[in-house]
Structure 1
Amino acid sequence: MTFDWWTLGLQTVNFAVLVWLLHRLLYQPVLRMIDSRRAEMEKQYAEANAATVKAQQELAEVEAARAKIAGEREATLTMAAAQAEEAAKARRAQAESEAAVLLEGARKSIAEERQQVVAEARSVAVDLGAEVARRLLEAAPLKARSEAWLDQIDHYLAALPRSERIALAKQLENSEALVVVTASPLRPEEAETWRAQLRRLLGDGVSVTFNADPLLLAGAELHFPAAVLRFSWQNALQLARLELEAS
Structure 2
Amino acid sequence: MLVALSYLVSAVGAFLAMKSIAQYRASITGFDRWVNLCAASVALGGFGIWTMHFLGMLALQLPLAVAYSLPETLGSLVAAVLACGIALWALAQKRSPLRYAVAGLCLGAAICVMHYLGMQGMRFGGRFVWSWPTVGASVAVAVVAATLGLVLGFQTQRLAGRILGALVMGAAVCAMHYTGMAAADFVCTTTSPTLVPPGQFQVRATDMPGLIAIIALSVFALVAVDRVFTRMSRNMLAGRA
State the structure with more CA Rg: 1
